[in-house]
Amino acid sequence: MAGLSKSVLLVACCCLCFLSVSSLIERLEHPVKDDGSLSFMVIGDWGRKGKYNQSQVALQMGRVSERLNIDFVICTGDNFYDDGLTSVNDPAFEKSFSKIYTAKSLQKQWYNVLGNHDYRGNVEAQLDPILGSIDRRWICKRSFIVNTEIAEFFFIDTTPFVDKYFLNPKDHTYDWRGVLPRKDYLSKLLKDLELALQDSTANWKIVVGHHTIKSIGHHGDTKELARQLLPILEENNVDLYINGHDHCLQHMSSTSSQIQFLTSGGGSKAWKGDFDELNRKGTKFYYDGQGFMSVELEQSNAKIVFYDIFGKRLHVLDLFKGVYSAM
């Protein structure tokens, strides 16, 4: 009896230790350029087999990427419309990805998060490393960190935060394998993110998720993220929150912190036309059409540019980070 309860106790302890030690956020490393700088593209809401100007966006992205000699591409989710991938053999993977982004300059690592449309398909397929053997650029995980010498990128799985996908599941079916029980998953994810941000010594801290936090677009703010995620980002001096979900290009600033909200969701279908509040406080730029975004990072400067499908620059944001001297 005593022996049994002892071993039960031991197993329970091990489980607890394991839970508190292992993080939901996997860590990856990416090298910077020889001069210590980094440049990358950001695109979102794209996979439509070339339709809705997806191919035109890809073409211009390739040209700008060549000029900037980019290091990688960040995707803000909704990778395959309408319902994600059916399996790792789904031809949409090549028709919407490999055969579209063909420029030499785009043959770099692609870091992808999942959007709500991806959750409508077979999520495990998009996360399967076997896709990397079909196209070696592909990396998709729920939540992960990409550490570079100059910046740390925190990719966050935002879809499970949104109540309505759970409240009205009759509209669509979602593949929630791996994120249930929901409450435990979300609280652990937030805790793991907070710890990682607190530990980060990176000069630039950049968070990427599919859903908006602050947006004047069709979907508007995601109130669950504004309530649960934003306070953690602000407390930890995050510089940029980058998202998709609204099919537009957008720059909003915060009224309470340094954080800049950047939407790059113009990878294919756009022109929703139902934005409002153009005079909302913090609105710096809004474009209701297709396009993409580039980011160039140096130790004390960041340059962010939005482009339309002709490669024309629509908006430029220059950020400067002061040099802090030790007292």
Report the binding-site residues.
45, 78, 81, 116, 210, 245, 247
Q: Which amino acid is at 279?
A: N
Q: Report H helices in 168-323.
A: 182-199, 223-228, 230-235
Q: Specify which residues 249 forms β-bridges with.
A: 264, 287
d(CA 293, CA 213): 18
d(CA 194, CA 233): 8
> Least distance to ligand NAG from the beta carbon of 37, Å?
31
> Least distance to ligand NAG from the beta carbon of 26, Å?
36
CA torsion, ordered 321, 322, 326, 327, to nearest 10 deg: -140
Cα 23 to Cα 94, 191, 263, distances in angstroms = 32, 9, 27
Cβ atoms of 247 and 45 within 8 Å: the answer is yes
Closest CB to ligand NAG among residues 77, 291: 291
> Least distance to ligand NAG from the beta carbon of 289, Å?
5
Closest CB to ligand NAG among residues 54, 263: 54
Cβ atoms of 54 and 100 within 8 Å: the answer is yes
Closest CB to ligand NAG among residues 200, 268: 268
> Least distance to ligand NAG from the beta carbon of 308, Å?
6
Total length of the chain: 327
Closest CB to ligand NAG among residues 208, 309: 309
The binder of ligand NAG chosen from 25, 38, 53, 221 (CB under 6 A): 53
Q: Does 50 bind ligand NAG (CB under 6 A)?
A: no
d(CA 28, CA 40): 16
Residue set of the binding site for Fe cation: 45, 78, 81, 116, 210, 245, 247
Closest CB to ligand NAG among residues 40, 52: 52
Q: Does 52 bind ligand NAG (CB under 6 A)?
A: yes
What ranges make up the beta strands (E) of 217-280?
240-243, 249-253, 260-264
Tokens of residue 125, six digits: 């397929």
Window 204-243: residues binding ligand NAG (CB under 6 A): none
d(CA 242, CA 31): 21
> Least distance to ligand NAG from the beta carbon of 309, Å?
5
Residue appearing with tokens 């407390």? 235
Closest CB to ligand NAG among residues 125, 309: 309
Which are the contacts of 217, defined by CB distance < 8 A and separation ≥ 6? 246, 247, 248, 250, 263, 265, 272, 275, 286, 288
d(CA 284, CA 76): 20
Which among 30, 219, 251, 315 is annotated as catalytic? Answer: 219
d(CA 204, CA 57): 27
Binding mask 289-318 for ligand NAG (x = CB under 6 A): xx------------------x---------
219 catalytic residue (yes or no): yes
Closest residue to ligand NAG, judged by C-beta, is 53
**How big is the site for ligand NAG, counted in residues (CB under 6 A)?**
6
The binder of ligand NAG chosen from 7, 237, 271, 277 (CB under 6 A): 271
> Least distance to ligand NAG from the beta carbon of 56, Å?
7
Q: Catalytic site residues?
A: 219
Residues at the site binding ligand NAG, with contacts judged by CB under 6 A:
52-53, 271, 289-290, 309
